[in-house]
Amino acid sequence: MPRTQVRQALGLDPDGRYLFFPANPARTEKRHDRAAEVAATCGAELLTGGSIEPEQMPLWLNAANAVLVTSNYEGFGLAAVEALACDVPVLSTPVGIAPYALGGIEGCLCAEFDRAAWASVASLHMDAADPRVAGAARAASLSAARMAERVVEAYRDVAAGP
C-alpha cells in the first residue's frame, strides 16, 4: 500500500518518522521499553498495536518506516511475517520464526537487542523516502497455504514408506 495514502487514512503526518511496535505495550514479555528506546534514539514516533483490529493491521504496518519486534520470546512471530508481506523492514530479536524469516533480507535485522545497533539500522529507514525490503516472497513461503502443502507432502512421504 502506498505509504503516503495509508498515513493520510490513519491521520498521520505523511512525512513523519514512524516505528511500529505491533504488540500491546502492557505485555511485558514484548519489551515495549526497548522499542521506546530505539524510537527515542532515532527521533521517531513509536506507534503501538494491541487494540488494532486485524483487518486494520496492514494499514499500520504500511504506515511505518520499520517494525520493531523486541520480544523476550515468541511462539511463532506473526507480526514479522505480516510486515514482510507488506515489504516493510523488520528489526527483531532472534525469537520465533524471525531468524528464518529475516535472514538474508537486506534492510532487516535479527539480532539480540542493542539500542545503539538497532537505532543505527532503524535510522536508515527513517531517512529513506519509502524504505521497502524484498520480504513478500519470504512471507509467502510461510503462508498458511504453503504450510498446509508441506504437511501434505510430509504425510505422503511417511505413507510411501522407506
Helix pair 115-127, 32-42: axis angle to 10 deg = 50
- Indicate whether 112 pLDDT > 70: yes
Is residue 105 in some structural domain?
yes
pLDDT at 79 over 70: yes
36 is a domain residue: yes
Range of the domain at 128: 3-136
Whether residue 99 is contained in a domain is answered as yes
Residue at 152 is within a domain: no
Contact 101/139 with Cβ under 8 angstroms?
yes
pLDDT value at position 42? Answer: 94
pLDDT band, residue 146 (cuts 50/70/90): low
Q: 3-state class of 155 per DSSP?
A: helix
pLDDT value, residue 156: 80
CATH number, domain with residue 95? 3.40.50.2000
Q: Give the span between the Cα atoms of 121 and 138, in whole angstroms.
A: 20
Which pTM was predicted?
A: 0.88
Please count the structural domains in the chain: 1
SS3 at position 134? coil
